[in-house]
Structure 1
């Protein structure tokens, strides 16, 4: 399948995004990508972490990413280390940053200067490899006010939260349903299934539906059956696009709305 053909104007779209792409997670990421291909050979957006958990990258991993990018898949920036190294401000903040995200919400509480430093480091990492960079998605979709302010200073075309995609630099909001699973424990997996059924019941009118898949989403039978079945069904009525291509199409056709309250 040629992944580089242009999107059809006006047709609703879906995107498949692979999170936490790094050398140490690559075998699990490949299992997810293989599971996607078992449904259909669609373009995917890979969220790459330059120094995942402070570990270096390697040449073999980067060669594989370069080959995927050449085939029409998108590489986007997903933080720099994927680690939240700050201290929670209170117990609510502790629950959000240590329990909900397991200490991986890297951009959840950064100042503008620190967010900009890490964003620039990630952008330079992409540039040294000659990879185009259009999008940034924060780990766990958590972004501080300083991160939103720092994004104004980079030539990116989009960012995303759990509930929406934002066309940059104006931060215009594109309402976008998001299938996402938590597989760390059995009870999280059990809760993920009804949560995503609730999401699926409300996405019919949205121009972009997102499948936000994490490295172990192909390793649990019920989770894999849930997202792969919904992906198969939606491909009958929606076109699969990278997030960058979908945002460009929606921006061209004016399918966005003012981002009231986008910057906390």
Structure 2
């Protein structure tokens, strides 16, 4: 159920927020638990967890994911390894330096490789008894050179991209402003803070915003910005509600 706690429009109460936690892997579970505790204290639900299937999950880790799901979290696919062994081409190199570093694994693959990765990701959840996820978000929101028509042939029904949420079956893109907080350098802090400021203004026009949280964000330079945004946007929704109205 979305959180529809009343709030006035001056603090974002009329804007519906999609809250997600990225890079859910065995080694980030302590940070994910801490983030979920903060979100629970703030009364934020639902929450979408972006899970990296190929990160070496044990049976205990799978059980923890299942407990997250039982608590109302939506599990979503997030690549396979969440890293690349090599940077391919100028575009990938620029993306790596400016945004993704070494995590945008789609950019190191051709369309066939991307198709196989996405299909493998979806199958992993089903094989582990975690249900069939509806949402897929490529690492760093970088989908790579795969046609949207091809995405419709894969089992995911929605894809989160940098610009918004794509409905696979209709091919319709729903633009949703995005805020992030993964600022571990001074340059990134300035750039991301300016980006977030712009997207808060865009959210006032769109009526939607995405709040993307990475595992270490509570300890990085924009931690207080994140906490303020969690308190600013008090009406929460799930990704399935995009385009439903």
Offset, 1:207: 3.5
Q: How many residues align?
A: 236
Offset, 1:41: 3.7
Offset, 1:99: 5.1
Residue aligned with 1:82, SS: coil
Paired residue for 1:246?
Answer: 241
Offset, 1:224: 2.2
Q: Note if 1:102 corresponds to 2:101.
A: yes
Residue aligned with 1:17, SS: strand
Q: Is the 8 A contact 1:39 1:228 kept in 2?
A: no
Q: Is the 8 A contact 2:134 2:158 kept in 1?
A: yes
Paired residue for 2:11?
Answer: none
Identify unmatched segments of 5+ residues in structure 2. Answer: 5-13
**Deviation per residue, 1:31-65 (Å, 9 max, x gap):** 2222222322421000000113xxx1112221111
Question: How high is the TM-score relative to the length of structure 2?
Answer: 0.87
**Deviation per residue, 1:136-155 (Å, 9 max, x gap):** 10000011222645422212
Q: Is the 8 A contact 1:176 1:209 kept in 2?
A: yes
**CA pair 135-147 structure 1, distance change in 2 beyond 3 A:** farther
Q: Note if 1:22 corresponds to 2:21.
A: no
Paired residue for 2:8?
Answer: none
Offset, 1:242: 2.3
**CA pair 44-6 structure 1, distance change in 2 beyond 3 A:** closer
Whole-angstrom CA distance in 1 between matches of 2:176 and 2:237: 14
Aligned ranges for residues 186-197 of structure 1 at < 5 Å? 186-197=186-197
Question: How high is the TM-score relative to the length of structure 1?
Answer: 0.81
Paired residue for 2:212?
Answer: 212
Offset, 1:22: 0.5
Paired residue for 1:120?
Answer: 119
Aligned ranges for residues 1-264 of structure 1 at < 5 Å? 4=1, 12-52=15-55, 56-90=56-90, 92-98=91-97, 100-130=99-129, 131-146=131-146, 148-220=148-220, 223-235=222-234, 238=235, 240-243=236-239, 245-247=240-242, 250-251=243-244, 253=245
Paired residue for 1:260?
Answer: none
**Deviation per residue, 1:196-245 (Å, 9 max, x gap):** 1121122112132110110111113x52221221221221xx3x1222x3
Paired residue for 1:261?
Answer: none
Q: Please identify, of 176-185 and 134-143, the stretch whose mean Cα deviation from structure 2 is larger.
A: 176-185
**Deviation per residue, 1:95-144 (Å, 9 max, x gap):** 21355311110112422211121112111110112222101100000112
Q: Please identify, of 79-88 and 112-121, the stretch whose mean Cα deviation from structure 2 is larger.
A: 79-88
Identify unmatched segments of 5+ residues in structure 1. Answer: 254-264
Offset, 1:184: 3.0
Whole-angstrom CA distance in 2 between matches of 1:218 and 1:157: 31
Q: Is the 8 A contact 2:92 2:108 kept in 1?
A: no
Q: Is the 8 A contact 1:47 1:76 kept in 2?
A: yes
Residue aligned with 2:72, SS: coil
Whole-angstrom CA distance in 2 between matches of 1:98 and 1:84: 13
Q: Please identify, of 16-25 and 169-178, the stretch whose mean Cα deviation from structure 2 is larger.
A: 169-178
